Structure 1
């Protein structure tokens, strides 16, 4: 994990929205097994400036299912929760590096040489893509970005 558990919890709206105490990675594991409340993912979505369509694509569920879950307040599945936690790592890392959310959002939507000309935004729907984004953000943080 490149960011602290506390940062992940903050990105997901805090313990109040997560509806449980999260102190360490094993608590996150338990959260994955239980499923993340939709309020938490909606909080992350709002902070990242994503539409329902974008967020449903990242989570690999239909937009109508995503909207229905928001309305009913159900929880994400285990797989979807893992994706949300991983996405919160990307968000916190980018927020720390860029300082302004709009600058990070611009970077996500811009073609990136280090990603073979792909936009980072287009890679958020896979674990490997999120890992590549975190790798590049880490290199940028230490000035070894190319």
Structure 2
């Protein structure tokens, strides 16, 4: 786990608004008003997420999102199924856009992290929970389960149980 950078919420919200505007233009979406969009509201709009995944997440937006999440570059490379060297090459490319599968994974991890911070009310406690073996998850660390969609669903389910006070 890495230390999370204090990336400005305003900067991220602006980057998300800009991205959503482009997605809206390309997809002819009139579902949402661009000026109403924040990072948080973006993550909760499933239809907008679908269109965003299909368009692909730009590397610059990925970087802003990844700075807010506790994962190291090596973790990201593994989550996205992209070698660390390829990640560096993509970073160097002007206007690189991730394909749909890595884009979906980026947004899934952003959603899980957003939910976890909400459930724990404290980033540090959530990050500690992510890296601690969990009996309810087969004594695996939740972080280990985030590598595939079924594992991610198990982590999300466990977060919902914690939020409801179910500790079995």
If the length of structure 1 is used for normalisation, what is the TM-score? 0.84
Which residue of structure 2 aligns with residue 14 of structure 1?
Answer: 13
Q: Which runs of 5+ in 2 are unaligned?
A: 1-8, 25-31, 33-44
Matched, 1:78 2:77: no
Runs of 4+ aligned residues of structure 1 deviating over 3 Å after TM superposition are 21-24
- 1:16-45: CA deviation from partner (whole Å, max 9, x where unpaired): 246223744322222111100112222222
Q: Give structure 1 stretches of 5+ with no counterpart.
A: 1-9
Aligned equivalents of 1:133, 1:98: Cα separation in 2: 14
Superposition RMSD on alpha carbons, in Å? 1.8
* Match of residue 52 from structure 2: 31
Matching of residues 1-146 of structure 1 within 5 Å: 13-14=12-13, 16-17=15-16, 19-21=19-21, 23=32, 24-72=45-93, 73-146=95-168
Is the CA contact (8 Å cut-off) linking 1:48 and 1:101 kept in structure 2? no
Please identify the structure whose Cα radius of gyration is greater. Answer: 2
Aligned length: 135
Aligned with 2:133: secondary structure?
A: coil
